Structure 1
Amino acid sequence: MSEHAYAETARRHDIGRTLLVRWRRQYRNGELAGDASPLRFMPVILTPPDVPTEPPAPKPTPASPSVERAEITLLNGRRLSVAATIDPVALTRLVQALDPA
């Protein structure tokens, strides 16, 4: 892959070019799975939320607005709970800090 291709791919996915190069090298060397089993895709099933038949009872207004959360389990077993609206660049840095390659 040429330097231009790395730069273009990194720009398209809003990640650093050096990170892309590192991931490619780690993949080739079999380092991404760590001590775990080889990487594989996992099935994901998205279902629509349940639609209530009756209007919900009014909830007390919280002091701060509720934010949907995303739960992430890293390869090293650590669990990460973040706001679903977290900036992808910030999330990438956080994951790198908690699960360094």
Structure 2
Amino acid sequence: MDRSSVVRRRNRSWPEPLKREIVAATFEPGASVAAVARRYEVNANQLFGWRKLFGPPGLDTMTPALVPVVLTGEVASLAPPISPDDRIEIELASGYRIRVGGDAATATLRRVLDVLERR
């Protein structure tokens, strides 16, 4: 069998200064490891290993950091309160119109809409 046309894969040897340069590029604002890996033609998993070796001290890329949270006072609701007097009108493609008050139960409204859509 002729093996002259078979391309053998060979492990590349990366000089340490180049590794450090590539790792530094991953810490630039807005940079992603995947994009940097593609730019330098490096496997992203290899790059994560280099980040552990050559990244900032104390950096553990696999463990997320926990940040303390302090709640103060009550959280304001994003939606304004709904009054029973508030009304909306829903017009379906089938021509049906429904007027719904603010106090309508969501499950009931869903059942009514399902029935009307099947007609």
Say whether the fold is shared (TM-score over 0.5): no
Pick 1 or 2: higher relative contact order, CA cutoff 8 A, min separation 6. Answer: 1
Higher-Rg member (1/2): 2
State the TM-score, normalizing by the size of structure 1: 0.32
State the TM-score, normalizing by the size of structure 2: 0.27
